[in-house]
């Protein structure tokens, strides 16, 4: 179990006189890094709405993060439930930031099928952030959790749903984490008035990362929180990739406009959800 009680609250999280309290929505906040980020934000005086995959998990998330505004549920492996989640979130009103934290790991040894016949890895890690980004009223800040493994992701966009390729969970996971960076950079290009960034939290001892993960668990939620609420000029940027609040090298394909467009087109075809029109469509 993650022990977040001993986490120190970074000064950039704390609301102070003359500084506006932020309202943040976090996907996958029932446990792990999503819950840790939520606790930091709540302790800092911000308003937080949690997401979990079921009603029961939503109740557990609220119990684990006292002070959260509310929690909403949806199974992100389902296209319809993800669309309905966007509707629920929009009914709650405007958010200053959204942290796309939800994700599943690469332990799947076989290509399983979601209710829509998709690999859950792709449905949750790639398609759900696309759908939510497209349908939720755009906030001022968008944060997408990726992984260092995105550098091993394939930019080919061929057979994204692994219908014809031999299943490889490690490669499928790496691909989805590249997709998250592609999406972050696409939003930054289409909506330059929004701060849209991606990050890697490090390989840490969460349920996904495993007990032997070597990176700092205490530091793992801080970058996404920093990007969500900090007024540090280093955080007020867009189309960047971070690790522990510092810019880091990313897969060169993530900035390729042709690949970005291809990813959007594929997600639209699979989900039936159109990406919103921005004011910079070059």
* Domains, in order of start, for the chain: 19-271 (3.40.50.720)
Q: Could you report the per-residue pLDDT of 171-182, keeping only the tens digit for each?
A: 999 999 999 999
What's the mean per-residue pLDDT of the chain?
91
What 3-state DSSP class applies to 178? Answer: helix
Which carries the bigger pLDDT value, residue 214 or residue 216? Answer: 216
Is it the case that residue 130 has pLDDT exceeding 80? Answer: yes
Q: What angle do CA 18, 199, 145 make, to 5 degrees?
A: 95
d(CA 282, CA 190): 8
Both tokens of 242, joined, read: 């971070």
Share of the chain above pLDDT 90, in %: 81
Is it the case that residue 3 has pLDDT exceeding 80? Answer: no
| Secondary structure E strands in the chain | 23-26, 47-52, 70-73, 97-100, 141-145, 195-199, 241-243, 246-247
| Secondary structure E strands in 83-140 | 97-100
d(CA 277, CA 134): 9
Mean pLDDT of the region 245-258:
97
**Catalytic site includes residue 16:** no
Q: Could you report the per-residue pLDDT of 8-45, keeping only the tens digit for each?
A: 788 888 887 656 799 999 999 999 999 999 999 999 99
Mean pLDDT of the region 106-129:
91
**Contact present, 33 and 16 (Cβ < 8 Å):** no
What 3-state DSSP class applies to 268? Answer: helix
Is it the case that residue 6 has pLDDT exceeding 90? Answer: no
Q: Please return the burial class of 279, using the count of CB atoms within 10 Å of its CB with bins 0-12, 13-18 and 19+.
A: exposed
d(CA 227, CA 195): 8
**Contact present, 176 and 122 (Cβ < 8 Å):** yes
Is it the case that residue 207 has pLDDT exceeding 70? Answer: no
Both tokens of 129, joined, read: 């952030």
Q: Which residues contact 28 (CB under 8 A, 6 or more apart)?
A: 34, 51, 52, 53, 76, 101, 102, 103
Which carries the bigger pLDDT value, residue 6 or residue 196? Answer: 196
Both tokens of 140, joined, read: 């001022």
Among the options 106, 130, 144, 173, which is catalytic?
A: 173
**Catalytic site includes residue 130:** no
Is it the case that residue 204 has pLDDT exceeding 70? Answer: no
pLDDT of residue 150: 97
Burial code (b: 16+ CB inside 10 Å, e: under 16) for 32-46 equals bbbbbbbbbbbbbbb
**Contact present, 92 and 136 (Cβ < 8 Å):** no
Q: Please return the burial class of 102, using the count of CB atoms within 10 Å of its CB with bins 0-12, 13-18 and 19+.
A: buried
Which carries the bigger pLDDT value, residue 6 or residue 77? Answer: 77
pLDDT of residue 1: 38
Which carries the bigger pLDDT value, residue 105 or residue 2? Answer: 105
**Contact present, 153 and 177 (Cβ < 8 Å):** yes
d(CA 162, CA 115): 15
Least trusted range by pLDDT, from 115-129, 189-203, 252-266: 189-203
Among the options 39, 130, 177, 250, which is catalytic?
A: 177
Mean pLDDT of the region 53-66:
96
Q: Which helix (H) or strand (E) holds 270?
A: helix 257-271
């Amino acid at each position: 179990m993650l022990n977040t009680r001993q986490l120190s609250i970074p000064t950039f999280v704390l609301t102070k006189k003359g500084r506006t309290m932020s309202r943040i929505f976090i996907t996958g906040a029932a446990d792990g890094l999503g819950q840790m980020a939520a606790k930091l934000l709540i302790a800092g005086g911000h308003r937080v709405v949690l997401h979990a995959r079921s009603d029961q998990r939503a109740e557990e998330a609220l119990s684990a993060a006292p002070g959260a505004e509310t929690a909403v549920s949806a199974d992100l492996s389902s296209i319809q439930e993800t669309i309905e989640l966007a509707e629920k979130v929009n009914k709650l009103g405007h958010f200053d930031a959204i942290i796309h934290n939800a994700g599943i790991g690469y332990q799947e040894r076989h290509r399983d099928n979601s209710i829509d016949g998709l690999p859950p890895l792709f449905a949750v890690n790639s398609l759900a952030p696309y759908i939510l980004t497209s349908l939720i009223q755009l906030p001022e800040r968008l944060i997408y959790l990726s992984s260092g493994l995105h550098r091993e992701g394939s930019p080919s966009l061929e057979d994204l749903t692994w219908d014809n390729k031999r299943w490889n969970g490690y490669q499928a996971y790496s691909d989805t984490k590249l997709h998250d960076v592609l999406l972050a950079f696409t939003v930054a290009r289409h909506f330059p008035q929004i701060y849209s960034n991606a990050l890697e939290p490090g390989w840490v001892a969460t349920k996904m990362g495993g007990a032997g993960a070597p990176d700092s668990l205490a530091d793992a939620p801080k970058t996404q929180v920093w990007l969500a609420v900090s007024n540090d000029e280093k955080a007020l940027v867009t189309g960047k990739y971070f690790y522990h609040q510092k810019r880091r090298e990313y897969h060169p394909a993530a900035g390729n406009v042709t690949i970005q467009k291809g990813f959007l087109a594929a997600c639209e075809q699979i989900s039936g959800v159109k990406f919103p029109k921005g004011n910079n469509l070059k």
